[in-house]
Amino acid sequence: MSPQVTDNGVEPRKSAAPRHVHTLIIGSGFAGLGAAIRFAQDGRDDFLVLERGSEVGGTWRDNTYPGAACDVPSHLYSYSFALNPDWSRSFSRQGEIQAYIKKVADKYDVLDKHVFDCDVQSAHWNGKAAQWEVQTSQGKFTANFIVSAVGALCEPSLPDIKGITEFAGEIFHSAQWNHDADLTGKRVAVIGTGASAIQIIPAIAGQVAHMDVYQRTAPWLLPRFDRPYTEVEKFAFKHIPGFQRLSRAGIYWARETQVFGLAKAPIMMKPLELMARAKLMYEVRDSELREKVTPNFQIGCKRMLISNEYYPALGRDNVELVTDGIKEVRKDAIVTKDGTVREVDAIVVATGFHVTDSPTFQTIFGKDGRSLADVFEEGGQQGYKGSAINNFPNMFFLVGPNTGLGHTSMVFMIESQINYVADALDTADRQGLRTVEVRKDAQDAYNDELQEKLAKSVWNNGGCASWYLDKHGNNTTLWPGFTFEFRQQLRKFDIDKYDVSVAVDNKEKVAAK
């Protein structure tokens, strides 16, 4: 949420949108857009969506790198209230997902509630006025409530490598792909072998003269069961009542079976590991390369990736997998710790995102003046049901702490949270509540239970270091159970877990719990 200027260096003009609303939504990816649609359907008209981009879409608007696609099946990676019978294939690509999001925004007529190119720079709680004061690149807004829908994969993480800022060639993060940079015939380095990298590498390997792939940790890869839908299937999705919803349900329940191994009993991940090992043996015939790409941790500990093209790309004559750590970057080369100098014309940085240390945490200030970053620094990244955080009254979070998944669609979790937030706002209206803040003891008890469950998971016991864990060693990212359990927990707003106040004769009074 850094300051933003237009291409010519001029600050954007202030929006004509109202300066005070009941509810501000920050961000318009799947989460923020879903919240806006729900509020509109509930008859809530007094809200705005502040979006730093020029259109809806969030991560699917920003990540336009070659090969960008989803690793959740198309029919599950969509809103339950806006099924799309027109998906072209079983796993959708970036452009098709972005087109779907834009189509949904237009269909549900919420674009007029958006303020685009509006970068949120800070948000402060004003206790006396019982409202949030939000400073943006388009001026100041105030609101009774805020719904943060910033998302976890929005702030690119750049590696701290000596000399990287001195590199003279093209260099960009996978989430900020420079489409003006022609990589044809160039010597290209890709730093990272995560979810984005394994899509980028096969997509450009045939275009570049030479590619060095810098791997820190080898990922586990599973087959990508992707194919175009037949015309018969497309007809059935569109014209046979219930067929698409039944297909979606089948995908959902098949995915939920992975929870047994991921969160309950890691030994049950063995069948997936055997599948991954068979794939590795079949697709990587060179024994030296196979040894380099064989993971040294239990499958599921880090994000499981799917690709049918990554291993073959590594086997190309013009691709080299480098497993020695990077010592420094020079103006025209990368030097590894063993002293090898590899000349390079362009660098693609595919090192993921700030998840447990997002810069956005430094811009939100609660009732005691501490930022969200300060609160997380002192007590760890904790929330209540991923949707509320003590010390931040009248603020709800979508895709908050411990709502991430390792097996299925985040859209399911987002819709569960939207239900909870919508009921919270309805409750506040019915009871005339001025402030709503989750109690610290309720938040602590909730997180104690979460960490107890996570202690049994493959994420905590699989022998890897991942972005799932914060610097305290706690898994603050993932939900340790079935997604239907999460939905059940968030079915109704549990006001008994919150401190609330009502306004009586213009004086705030603490309501009975």
Please tell me whether residues 207 and 336 are part of one structural domain.
yes
Q: Which of 332, 349, 366 is the last residue of a domain?
A: 349
Q: Please give the structure tokens belonging to residue 258.
A: 């992975």
Q: Please give the structure tokens belonging to residue 52.
A: 């730093």
Is 311 part of a structural domain of the chain? yes
Q: Please give the structure tokens belonging to residue 305.
A: 């990736």
| Whole-number pLDDT of residue 378 | 87
How sure is the predictor about 160, in pLDDT bands with cuts at 50, 70 and 90? confident
Is 8 part of a structural domain of the chain? no
**38 or 8, greater pLDDT:** 38
| Whole-number pLDDT of residue 5 | 45
Q: Is 169 in contact with 347 (CB distance < 8 Å)?
A: yes
Please tell me whether residues 70 and 92 are part of one structural domain.
yes
| Whole-number pLDDT of residue 154 | 60
Please tell me whether residues 343 and 368 are part of one structural domain.
no
Please tell me whether residues 137 and 185 are part of one structural domain.
no
**Antiparallel, parallel or unpaired: β 187-191 and 305-306:** unpaired
CATH number for position 83: 3.50.50.60
Whether the full predicted model's pTM is greater than 0.85, yes or no, is yes
SS3 assignment, position 66: coil
Which backbone phi and psi does 471 adopt, to 5 degrees? -70, -15
Please tell me whether residues 178 and 314 are part of one structural domain.
yes
Q: What is the pLDDT of residues 257-291, one digit of tens each?
A: 999 999 999 999 999 999 999 999 999 999 999 99
Is 6 part of a structural domain of the chain? no
Is 5 part of a structural domain of the chain? no
Q: What is the pLDDT of residues 464-495, one digit of tens each?
A: 888 788 777 789 999 999 999 999 999 999 99
Is 1 part of a structural domain of the chain? no
Over 70: is that where the pLDDT of 153 sits? Answer: no
Q: Please give the structure tokens belonging to residue 261.
A: 């191994």
Q: Is 199 in contact with 306 (CB distance < 8 Å)?
A: no
Tally the residues of the chain. Answer: 513
Please tell me whether residues 109 and 191 are part of one structural domain.
no
Q: Burial of 180 by CB count in 10 Å (0-12 exposed, 13-18 middle, 19+ buried)? A: exposed
Which backbone phi and psi does 142 adopt, to 5 degrees? -130, 155
Task: Report percent pLDDT > 70 for the chain.
Answer: 93
Q: Which of 318, 334, 349 is the last residue of a domain?
A: 349
Q: Which residues make Cβ contacts (< 8 Å) with residue 81, sequence separation at least 6? A: 37
Please tell me whether residues 211 and 119 are part of one structural domain.
no
Torsion 211-216-218-223 (CA) sign: negative
Which backbone phi and psi does 50 adopt, to 5 degrees? -95, 120
| Whole-number pLDDT of residue 509 | 59
Number of domains present in the structure of the chain: 2
Domain span including residue 54:
20-155+354-510
Over 90: is that where the pLDDT of 123 sits? Answer: yes
How sure is the predictor about 511, in pLDDT bands with cuts at 50, 70 and 90? low
Using CA atoms, how far apart are residues 211 and 205, in angstroms rounded to an integer?
7
Q: What is the 3-state secondary structure (H, E, C) of 426-491?
A: HHHHHHCEEEEEECHHHHHHHHHHHHHHHCCCHHHHCCCCCCCECCCCCECCECCCCHHHHHHHCC
The closest of 295, 265, 268 to 280, measured between CA atoms, is 295
Q: What is the pLDDT averaged over residues 106-131?
A: 97
Q: What is the pLDDT averaged over residues 449-472?
A: 88
Please tell me whether residues 137 and 177 are part of one structural domain.
no
What 8-state DSSP symbol labels residue 150? -
Residue with tokens 């209540």: 384
Q: Which of 333, 349, 365 is the last residue of a domain?
A: 349
Q: What is the pLDDT averaged over residues 125-137?
A: 97
Please tell me whether residues 84 and 170 are part of one structural domain.
no
Q: What is the pLDDT of residues 41-61, one digit of tens each?
A: 999 999 999 999 999 999 999
Please tell me whether residues 182 and 125 are part of one structural domain.
no
Please tell me whether residues 344 and 360 are part of one structural domain.
no
The closest of 284, 11, 378, 409 to 399, measured between CA atoms, is 409
Is 7 part of a structural domain of the chain? no
SS3 assignment, position 512: coil
Is 318 part of a structural domain of the chain? yes
Please tell me whether residues 452 and 384 are part of one structural domain.
yes
Using CA atoms, how far apart are residues 370 and 182, in angstroms rounded to an integer?
45
- Kindly list the distances between the CA atom of residue 419 and the CA atoms of 12, 434, 484, 491, in Å, as whole numbers in the listed order: 34, 21, 13, 7
Q: What's at 329, amino acid-wise?
A: V
Is 123 part of a structural domain of the chain? yes
Using CA atoms, how far apart are residues 491 and 421, in angstroms rounded to an integer?
10
